[in-house]
Amino acid sequence: MSRLALISGRGRLPQLLADHLEAQGHPPVMAEMEGFESLSRAREGVERFRLERLVPFLNRLQDLGVREVVFAGGVHRPRLDPALIDPATMQLLPRIMAAMQQGDDGTLREVIALMDEWGISVRAAQEICPELLAKPAVLGSVAPKGQDREDAARGFEILRLMGAADVGQGCVVARGQCLAIEALPGTDVMLAQLSALREDGTELPSGGVFCKAPKPGQDRRIDMPALGPETVLSVKRAGLKGIAFESGGVLLIDRAEMLARAEEAGVFLWARA
């Protein structure tokens, strides 16, 4: 019988997907890379693996009858320990290292290609759980104003240019000026740094919009951008007016709580077409 594996990283998304699949009567094979544990803290029977032993892990998935896999949660490129690399994985190492040199998109394309070679197809989190996506709309009662809409338009243009260079999925724009862009450390670090600048009295334009969208041409089966309740609080602390994100292109984690926090904070949530 064909089975689906959930390969998790950090954050709430893996738990949400596992719960959803189990509620649908399709409990997944659960797996996670060492150093990025989320599921194994709350569940038993989680398959653990290291990139240095990728081939044994892929063989293990085959033995378990896995023919589909969904990736969920945050990871970054692990530091490899040469002493742990098995002979079969060693044969793949030149491909893996070459892909890593091409950036995140290149690495993800190689991951999908390897899965395919083992007869395992990659499914998107939003395919498993479509309610994670939002249709074009302002969510809640707080709406963006004229300047906010102009800042969002500017932000999405910046994201388009960033994406072409395989750099980040988020930025902050205030009164037409780009205050921050998301790089390798991620959204939380970017917003925390902006908050610190404001607290230190750095002269910055007031207000602003946090913009979030996938990279142009990104394979949306993997590494989809996500927003959650903590993002709303970080946006408020950074003195921003709200969040503009691509409708159908960003996963909303714990949407009800996210919306409640946005209403309380007076922050808008705009799923932009």
Q: What is the pLDDT of residue 1?
A: 64
Q: What is the pLDDT of residue 212?
A: 98
Q: What is the pLDDT of residue 11?
A: 86
Q: What is the pLDDT of residue 238?
A: 97
CB 75 within 8 A of CB 9: yes
Q: What is the pLDDT of residue 248?
A: 97
Q: What is the pLDDT of residue 39?
A: 61
One-letter amino acid of 271:
A
Q: Name the CATH architecture for the domain at 133-272.
A: 3-Layer(aba) Sandwich (3.40)
Alpha helices by DSSP H, the chain: 13-23, 54-63, 87-101, 104-117, 125-128, 146-164, 187-199, 229-237, 255-265
Q: What is the pLDDT of residue 40?
A: 58
Q: Consecutive 10-residue runs of the chain (273 residues): their mean pLDDT?
A: 88 91 94 77 80 94 96 81 93 86 76 92 95 97 98 97 89 97 91 96 95 91 93 97 98 97 98 97
81-106-153 Cα angle (round to 5): 125
Parallel/antiparallel/unpaired status of strands 226-227 and 47-49: unpaired
Q: Which residues on neighbouring strands pair with residue 4, listed in sequence order?
A: 68
- Quick one: DSSP state of residue 168? -
Q: How many C-beta atoms surround the C-beta of residue 144 within 10 A?
A: 20
Q: Name the CATH architecture for the domain at 3-128.
A: 3-Layer(aba) Sandwich (3.40)
Q: In the chain, where are the structural domains located? A: 3-128, 133-272
Q: What is the pLDDT of residue 111?
A: 84
Q: Report CA dihedral (76, 80, 84, 85) to the nearest 10 degrees.
A: 100
